[in-house]
Each structure stands twice: as structure tokens, then as C-alpha cells.
Structure 1
């Protein structure tokens, strides 16, 4: 079952089509990474899914129900979200802030203590939120989103502004939610390495258009391992390798070869040396997630 499905989803502001014909499918129980550069339309899409922004065209199904005015509140009772930045009352404690949300959502009071433990804020529950660090405020926002133990959790750039330790904590917490509570988590980010370490399914959006959607494994399948060889004379080396039935291409000062068994690689480097060619460097490479992203979008972007 797909927890979220969109069909031909569009959002237009003036003459600008910010989200263009999106067809998203979010599998149940996944950590679904929604990836793209700043301004790509990620937040707008998530707001439409939550009913905070009305689509210009298209349809949205959440938890098997059509998202519309008639049943929006019914659907949202099973959804938690943290969009852009957490909201809080600075003069109240973390626990008091959560009690307000608990009352509005009509969930048991015991959930407050439980979610504070989940996000590791139970030791700070009596501290005023105005005195919280940025990372603590992010975790408080996540605690509020978790209060009703939703089936679907939507997080928009949850690691924004966190230090490396805070990013690691947030990443570990997000990855644990499907297994611990059976939640489906949609997490948006412009940090490609973050999505690579958190998600098992990925969608990539560029200028409002979906350019990739599949498992993370399938995304990495766009990349193939290869060997990069640099010699004292690549032109001569390329001819000599051709004699050994090894095809290669030249790219930025390197000869790009397919992955070879260690014995074959050793034999070829020895063969080049016997022909008075210096092997300057031989390394194994694989395209990073960033490289794959740029390939899929067909242009360089500022990330």
C-alpha cells in the first residue's frame, strides 16, 4: 500500500508553475527522501499534501483517502508534521508546550513523557523553550509531531541549522521510527548525503518536476564502479590497453576503465611499466549521490 499518492499535482503562482504534474508514490513503512535544491518546490508539495496549500490541479490521496476539505481533519488526525521550523511558546517549558498540543489533539497525557524520552528531551522538560538550543527546539517540534503516534510523519528539512552531533541524533531517530512504531516518514532535504544515509526510497525534484522516484538502491544503480588510471602518457597507454582488449575512455586527465579483477589490474600496470610508461595513479571510483543528482537534472545547481 502507498501511504501517499499524488496524480498530476500542480501548483501555480502567477505565471510560474512551482510544482508541475507530480506523480508521487510513498510506500508504507518507508523512510521516503524528498530531495532537491532549495526552491525546487519541496515545501510547497508537502504543504499541499497536508492541505495547507490548495493545488492548482491534480489530486492527492493520503492513507487511502482523498485529501479535500471534507475529510482533511479526519486524515490529519493520523499525520504528524514539522514544516520549515518548529512553532513554540518561548515563555513556556517544553512540557507545557507539548501539553497544549496534547489537549488540542485529544491524545493521552502519558504521551508527553513518552515522546520527550523518544527525542531525548525528558531531562529538559521543565526548561523554558526560549532557553533551548536550536537543536533542542527542533527535537521539541519533532516531539509535538509524534504526540499522537501518527501513521505518517512529514518532516521538512529537519536537520536545518543543527550541528554535526545534532544531525547524527536526528538521523538515527528518524531511521528508528518505522521499526519502532510502524510509521512512514517523509523527509525532505537539499542535503544529498543526509538522504543517502536516512532513506530507503527517494524522489528527486528539480524546478517543480519529478526527475527520479524509486528505491535508494535503484538510485545508486545509476552509478557503476570503475577504475581511473593516470599515466605519464595517456594517449600511448590507451593504445597499449587496446592491444590487451581493454576498452577505456579519457576523462579529465584519467583513463576510465571497467572494474577489473586484481590480477588483471596488476598484469596491466606491469605491462604498461614494461613499455616504459609510468603509472601515476590507479583508483577505484563510484559516482556519489551528488553526481547522480546532477546527471538526472542535466545541469549544475547550487546546493
Structure 2
């Protein structure tokens, strides 16, 4: 599979502070790359570097196999869609008029406007001034500005802020449809890690400007396998039989930890006739919990 974006030895300093130091990052076509990290970890800085909004101190950025530079940045930005931090638009203009301006700047047919407004659920508000939009509607307009013109790559910084649960689900479906029906890719950041997990094929975890994980979400999940819990007629007795601390009894369950199928089978066989087994469940730690552990340095 071809790479849409590749970053090599990218560094950015503010004064003497290194705010970004990425040795390698690759985003494949038709993928959704979820970028997560604490505030100040460098997420927005990376996105701004790709778009040429800030200047890198060293390293290389490649888009579609070509290295980005001052001369070609504007050309590449025509095939990128971006929403960085808060959406920017003219509040005294309507949603439709705001998209008209983007079409002129990117030399895109105005025929795209109706389709794009429909995609983000703003058809009925097309002729309403942006200053009269709710927070969620403004966020949708920002996404529409990023989407217009069939960009080959979307760069979205906190795109679902201000959206209600239905709006979040609609955006999730929209992003999945984009990568499913085209070779475009999405680089997306969000503090709503549950949503990142639902839509991402790959993730990058930034800590103090460095990528501490960079790869497929499925591979990350293999590094952190699910744990097993068991519910019996007497969880305290079960803990004693298995030589497990009673502290592992939580919410009517005994947490066994990460066990293989073979180990689970032996446990069930050993407990047979000693306690009644009601339920054995496989439970995954949330991405949010794993993220907190990673970024705090907890093993």
C-alpha cells in the first residue's frame, strides 16, 4: 500500500525547547491515523508543519512521494483539507458563502458546495449566517471547509468538539465512507479516545513531542491483550483456591488477569465441583486507560 504522508527526523523548537522530535511516521492511503497525546504533546504543531503554517527546524515531510518545500507547499495545500483548532470562517457570511470563498481559493467548482453541505448536515442552514450557528453547526461548517473539493488527505484537529452524540456518529460514518470509497487518508486528533478507537486503523501516541507508539491499532491491542474475569457462587473462595488476592474481587467479579485459552481451561477444570461458575468474560482496558498509563510512564 502506498504512503500518502511520510515524516523523517522532523524537529521543531520554540526558543530552546524541542516541542516535536519525530524520527519516523507514515500514513498509508485509505487509512485513518488517530493522533493522541496530552495537551502540549505536539499534535497541533505536527499538523501545522504539514500544512506549512509553521516552519520546521530540521527533517523532511513527504506528501504523495514528494518532499514538501516552500515552493510546492501551496500546490500541495490545494489537495489537502484541514481543520486546525477552532474552525475559521467569516461569521457575517452564510455557510454557503463561506464555502464559495474556499472554492475560489482552491479553484473548485461551486457545484461541490451543495454536496458538501449535505454531507455534514448543514443543508437547511446553507443560507443562514455563520454567526447564528450553534457550536456544533460551526464545527460542521469547519469540517465542510476541510472536505470540499475531494481532498486526498484530511488533517483534522479535534473535529468532533461541540457535536452531540448523533453528530459524532454521523461524522464517524462520514470519515469511514471517505477512506472506504477513495484512496484518501485522514490524520485526526481528539481527546475523545473512545471515538479515536472506533474509527482509526492506525494510531500515534505523542508524549513530550516524541512518538512512543506508531503503528496499527490492532497491533497496539495485541501488545495490550484483554484480561479475564470470572463470576462464581463464591468469589472470595475462588480467589483463595486460585491463590489470588481478594483485592481482585470487584463488582461481583474476580479479575484473573491476562490468561491464555489453555490457562482458562485449566482454571475451569480445577474449579469444577468446588464452586459454581456463572460467567467468564474477556474484558479490554479502554484506550483512554492505556493512554493515561503510557503518557504517565506507568507500566
Rounded to whole Å, the distance in 2 between the matches of 1:266 and 1:21 is 47
Rounded to whole Å, the distance in 2 between the matches of 1:123 and 1:29 is 31
The alpha carbon displacement at 1:38 in A equals 1.9
Report the counterpart of residue 91 of structure 1 in structure 2.
Answer: 92
Aligned-residue RMSD, C-alpha: 2.5
Report the counterpart of residue 11 of structure 1 in structure 2.
Answer: 12
Report the counterpart of residue 184 of structure 1 in structure 2.
Answer: 185
Say whether 1:193 aligns with 2:194.
yes
**2:225/2:258 contact within 8 Å kept:** no
Report the counterpart of residue 141 of structure 1 in structure 2.
Answer: 142
Rounded to whole Å, the distance in 1 between the matches of 2:122 and 2:35 is 27
Q: 2:241 aligns with which of 237, 241, 259?
A: 237
| Cα displacement string for residues 139-192 of structure 1 (whole angstroms, at most 9, x for unaligned residues) | 111111122211111111101122222222222211111123432111112222
Provide closer, same or farther for how the CA distance between residues 264 and 53 of structure 1 changes in structure 2, counting only shifts above 3 A. same
**1:212/1:296 contact within 8 Å kept:** no
Rounded to whole Å, the distance in 2 between the matches of 1:288 and 1:122 is 36
Rounded to whole Å, the distance in 2 between the matches of 1:263 and 1:52 is 57
Say whether 1:70 aligns with 2:71.
yes
The alpha carbon displacement at 1:250 in A equals 5.0
Give the SS at the match of 1:258. coil
When structure 1 is superposed on structure 2, of 166-175 and 102-111 the one drifting more is 166-175
Say whether 1:59 aligns with 2:60.
yes
Provide closer, same or farther for how the CA distance between residues 212 and 65 of structure 1 changes in structure 2, counting only shifts above 3 A. same
Q: What does 1:162-177 align with in structure 2 at a 5 Å threshold?
A: 162-177=163-178
**2:37/2:295 contact within 8 Å kept:** no
Report the counterpart of residue 290 of structure 2 in structure 1.
Answer: 292
Provide closer, same or farther for how the CA distance between residues 7 and 52 of structure 1 changes in structure 2, counting only shifts above 3 A. same
Provide closer, same or farther for how the CA distance between residues 115 and 282 of structure 1 changes in structure 2, counting only shifts above 3 A. closer
Give the SS at the match of 1:221. helix
Give the SS at the match of 2:41. coil
| Cα displacement string for residues 195-216 of structure 1 (whole angstroms, at most 9, x for unaligned residues) | 1001111111111110111111
| Cα displacement string for residues 4-49 of structure 1 (whole angstroms, at most 9, x for unaligned residues) | 1111111111222111134110001111111112221100011001
Rounded to whole Å, the distance in 2 between the matches of 1:181 and 1:258 is 40
User: TM-score scaled to structure 2, two decimals?
Assistant: 0.87
The alpha carbon displacement at 1:70 in A equals 1.1
Rounded to whole Å, the distance in 2 between the matches of 1:186 and 1:107 is 22
The alpha carbon displacement at 1:220 in A equals 1.0
**2:30/2:182 contact within 8 Å kept:** no
When structure 1 is superposed on structure 2, of 287-296 and 201-210 the one drifting more is 287-296
Rounded to whole Å, the distance in 1 between the matches of 2:22 and 2:70 is 21
Q: What does 1:135-284 align with in structure 2 at a 5 Å threshold?
A: 135-228=136-229, 231-232=235-236, 236-239=240-243, 252-253=247-248, 254-256=255-257, 258-260=259-261, 265-273=267-275, 283-284=281-282
**1:227/1:259 contact within 8 Å kept:** no
**2:27/2:33 contact within 8 Å kept:** yes
| Cα displacement string for residues 106-154 of structure 1 (whole angstroms, at most 9, x for unaligned residues) | 1111011121122121221111111111111111111111222111111
**1:8/1:57 contact within 8 Å kept:** yes
Unaligned runs of 5+ in 2: 249-254
Unaligned runs of 5+ in 1: 240-248
User: TM-score scaled to structure 1, two decimals?
Assistant: 0.86
